[in-house]
Amino acid sequence: MNTMLGKTLKPARLRLGWSLDELAKAAGGVVSKQMLSKYEQGLSCPSQEILFAVAAALGTKAGDLLTEPKSKVEFVAFRKHSKLSASDQEKVKARVCWQMEGRLALSSTLGESTPRWQGQRMTAHSIEDAERHAVELRAEWGLGRQPIASLTSLLEDKGAAVLQLKEEEEFSRDFGLG
CATH assignment at residue 49 = 1.10.260.40
Cβ atoms of 158 and 119 closer than 8 Å: yes
Q: What is the pLDDT of residue 119?
A: 66
In a domain, 153, yes or no: no
Q: What is the pLDDT of residue 27?
A: 95
Q: What is the pLDDT of residue 178?
A: 44
Tell me the range of 120-124, 166-170, 171-175 where mean pLDDT is highest: 120-124
Q: Which domain holds residue 166?
A: 72-116+159-178
Instruction: Give the model's confidence band at 118: pLDDT under 50 very low, under 70 low, under 90 confident, else very high.
Output: low
Q: Is a pLDDT exceeding 60 seen at residue 7?
A: yes
140-154 per-residue burial string, b: 16 or more CB within 10 A, e: under 16:
eeeeeeeeeeeeeee
In a domain, 77, yes or no: yes
Same domain (yes/no): 107, 81: yes
Q: Which residue has the higher pLDDT, 172 or 123?
A: 123
Same domain (yes/no): 79, 89: yes
Mean pLDDT, to the nearest integer, of 60-79?
76
Q: What is the pLDDT of residue 177?
A: 46
DSSP label at residue 115: P
Q: What is the pLDDT of residue 72?
A: 67
Mean pLDDT, to the nearest integer, of 140-169?
82
- Into how many domains does the chain fold? 3
Instruction: Give the model's confidence band at 174: pLDDT under 50 very low, under 70 low, under 90 confident, else very high.
Output: very low
The average confidence (pLDDT) of the chain is 82
12-38 per-residue burial string, b: 16 or more CB within 10 A, e: under 16:
bbbbebbebeebbebbeeebeeebbeb
Same domain (yes/no): 94, 26: no
Instruction: Give the model's confidence band at 26: pLDDT under 50 very low, under 70 low, under 90 confident, else very high.
Output: very high
Same domain (yes/no): 58, 130: no
SS3 29: coil
pLDDT, one tens digit per residue, over 140-154 is 888 998 899 998 888
Same domain (yes/no): 8, 47: yes
In a domain, 154, yes or no: no
C-alpha distances out from residue 162 to 72, 73, 107, 129, 152, Å: 17, 14, 15, 24, 7
Please give the share of the chain, as a percent, with pLDDT higher than 90.
32
Same domain (yes/no): 60, 17: yes
Tell me which residue of 118, 162, 114 sits closest to 142, measured CA to CA. 118
Same domain (yes/no): 129, 42: no
Tell me which residue of 143, 162, 142 sits closest to 152, measured CA to CA. 162
